[in-house]
Amino acid sequence: MVAPYTGRCNCGAVSITISAEPVATRQCWCRQCQRIAAGGPTNNAMFLAKAVTITGPRADHAYVAASGNVLTHEFCAACGTPVLGRSNARPQFRTIRLGLLDEGHGLSPAMAIWTDEAPDWAVIDPALERFTAQPPAPAPTPPSSTS
């Protein structure tokens, strides 16, 4: 599928529309992601923040990551569905949880990150590019962007 992407949380209070293609897609095995993803990784697509429109009340939790950056996870305030993550070091991006998007979006992780923190039972697709910790940041804008 191609943009726009749409999605909603489990209760429908939060909805999202994304008007551009992702700059990166990732599966993250860090411990914080395991806690919000019931033990597995989060699966995410990073978009430019200006392409993302979200309506509905969110709760959030901010913490200082190993990198020293402040990461914030947002959730539906009513049902707890994970919505996105964002970093104070890269405010131009929003890391959207793939589970939020409506089926048929066609996006999948291209890399697995923080694999050193994955549990012993984790099965990680060998086709994915793999980083034991934080990968390099994506380019500020997609290579194909005309804006």
Query: Residues interacting with Zn ion, by CB under 5 A?
Result: 9, 11, 13, 28, 30, 33, 76, 78-79
Distance of CA 17 to the CA centre of its chain: 15
CB of 132 to Zn ion, least distance (A): 13
Q: How far is the CB of 33 from Zn ion (least distance, A)?
A: 3
- Cβ-based nearer residue to Zn ion, 5 or 114: 114
**What residue ranges in 35-143 does DSSP mark as E strands?**
42-48, 52-55, 58-64, 70-76, 82-87, 93-97, 111-113, 129-130
Between CA 104 and CA 110, with CA 107 as vertex, the angle to 5 degrees is: 155
Nearer residue to Zn ion within complex by CB, 59 or 139: 59
Query: Least distance from C-beta 81 to Zn ion, angstroms?
Result: 5
CB of 127 to Zn ion, least distance (A): 20
Comparing CB distances to Zn ion, the nearer of 50 and 84 is 84
Tracing tokens 């949380």 back to the chain, one arrives at 9
- Tokens matching residue 114: 């923080």
- Report the residue number, 70 or 141, with the smaller CB distance to Zn ion: 70
